[in-house]
Structure 1
Amino acid sequence: MTSMGYQTLHGRTAVVTGAASGIGEAVARQLAADGARVALLARRAGRLERLAAELGPGAMPVPVDVTDQDSVDAARQRVREAFGRVDLVVNAAGVMLPNPVDDGRIDEWARMIDTNLTGVLRLVRAFGPDLVAAAADGATADLVNISSIGAHVVFPNYAVYGATKAAVTQLSAALRAEYGPRDVRVTAVEPGLTDTELGSHIDNPALGPDGQLGAMFDAIGALSPADVADLVGYAASRPRHVNLRHLVVLPTRQA
């Protein structure tokens, strides 16, 4: 059963990163429910296997580390052998590690840049040719990058995270200029406050779920990952000539 307003995604083949939890998992569920075959990419193999078992034979777990080029290359080979050509790529893997810039956390900066930005580029390198080939054959082809409202709105202590997401939004626009003339759609989705496990990765108690982040949840409320996934599914289900290029989705109380 597809969601209201969707065209079917039957016959489409998707790759979703970050599929072990949060937005990535929700997107995988949404695309599978709408009829697509889905390759589930993330680091945590056990979670991927459980999700694949739940979604059925059209879902395949593919353990991968998007910060490792060899790992991404191996994942591409596995997907190609099992599913053939891909026509829908959703980059949902990401990390959010806020701290004051004065703390000089180069370890966190490098991890966010390598996951949130370079990880997207690695997936584009791996599967971009598939998208171009699919479009050339007359199929619908989509690249969807999950960015963040932090690409535009300044949050204290989130400077580097926001910078990586601003880069993802700008990268999506630039890729649209390269891919659009070849009929590959590129969509940047910028969620606002969303209830995922990203907050549990924060090592500064003053900024985490019991501090700044928790106060934001209390004051604003949050989107669920399924809310964001619904938007991804909607964008991918539009007629081939329609590109929803830049989507911002916020909790109603978030300015």
Structure 2
Amino acid sequence: MGTAGSGRLGDVKETTAGRPPLIPSQEPTMSYSSLSGRVAVVTGAASGMGAATAKLLAANGAAVALLSRREDRLKELAAEIGAAGGRALAVPADVTDQRSVDGAAERVAAELGRVDLLVAAAGVMLPNPVDDGRIDEWTRMIDTNVTGVLRVVRAFTGDLVATAAGGRTADLVAVSSIASHVSFPNYAVYSATKAALTHLATSLRSEFGPRDVRVSTVEPGLTDTELGAHIDNPSLGLDGQLGAMFDAIGPLSAEEIADVIGFTVSRPRHVNLRHLVVLPTRQA
């Protein structure tokens, strides 16, 4: 279903009917020394793939700005990263508000310096039949999943381009979803926003690539995050369609997606892993 999840990972890991566990480990197994000294911004850092990515980047020596609306969670994550020897800055920001994003960029510049790595992981997933007419949900998904990414790109493009012009590695990573190209009933608007994001990243490569800024799209399949808990339709949520998919397929962990992002941005600067689709084996 793309970037969705429920916190049911413990259930999925149990052995059933003599089969081995679906997910033997949630922990990444690789380290990326080339990330040391980089300055990263991660949106959606309060939970899920954003939080996992921030922790991985910091563990490998990057200074990480944590952007999300939930300041309490950001502070907890920054403290956790700091206790582990990393460097993180909690920056409350709302990607649906340009003034908020611009203010966050100013603070990052003042406290961490020029950004050379941007991971756009903020997103919402609110499925419902189109004939329910949930304009509130449609607006929220479009404003977060598409326009929100554009706001963040607008705020940090200058840093990325300047970094690349100076001969250093510069990365923009857009976290999309397999829903960008796979149809799921009742996910029409969510899928449309992710298709727009994937196509946006494709187009940005034509603008940024000639200036040595890498643009990568990561499209996860079924993944364990908190997004599933935001679904207000019981037949589609954790006690319905989504929960059944978790039980049948077994999700990826947020840490496994973070590991893919870490690998992507740690390649030599002339190597652009442009489009990665990451699925649980049973969904592939």
For Structure 1 versus Structure 2, the TM-score category normalised by the shorter chain is over 0.9
- Relative contact order, CA 8 A, sep 6+: which one is greater? 2
One-letter amino acid of the structure 1 residue matched with residue 50 of structure 2: G
Residue 172 (str. 1) matches residue 201 (str. 2): yes
Structure 1 residue aligned with 2:218: 189
Q: Which residue, out of 22, 29, 40, partners 2:55?
A: 29
Structure 1 residue aligned with 2:178: 149
Q: Which runs of 5+ in 1 are unaligned?
A: none
Secondary structure (helix, strand or coil) at the match of 2:224 reads coil
Check whether the contact 2:221–2:283 (CA below 8 A) recurs between aligned residues: yes
Residue 100 (str. 1) matches residue 129 (str. 2): yes
Under a length normalisation based on structure 1, what TM-score does the superposition of the two structures give? 0.98
Under a length normalisation based on structure 2, what TM-score does the superposition of the two structures give? 0.88
CA displacement, residues 32-86 of structure 1 (integer Å, 9 cap, x when unaligned): 1111000000010000001001111610000000001110011001000001100
Q: CA–CA distance in 2 between the matches of 1:6 and 1:25?
A: 17
Deviates more, 1:5-14 or 1:118-127: 5-14
Q: 1:3 to 1:241 in 2, by over 3 A?
A: farther
Structure 1 residue aligned with 2:68: 42
Q: CA–CA distance in 2 between the matches of 1:208 and 1:4?
A: 33
Structure 2 residue aligned with 1:161: 190
Check whether the contact 1:3–1:34 (CA below 8 A) recurs between aligned residues: no
One-letter amino acid of the structure 2 residue matched with residue 237 of structure 1: S
Q: CA–CA distance in 1 between the matches of 2:224 and 2:138?
A: 23
One-letter amino acid of the structure 2 residue matched with residue 111 of structure 1: R
RMSD of aligned Cα (Å):
1.1
Q: Which runs of 5+ in 2 are unaligned?
A: 1-27
1:48-87 residue pairs with structure 2 within 5 A?
A: 48-56=74-82, 58-87=87-116
Secondary structure (helix, strand or coil) at the match of 2:42 reads strand
Q: Percent identity?
A: 72
Structure 1 residue aligned with 2:256: 227
* Greater radius of gyration (CA): 2
Following superposition, the deviation at residue 203 of structure 1 comes to 0.5
Following superposition, the deviation at residue 3 of structure 1 comes to 5.5
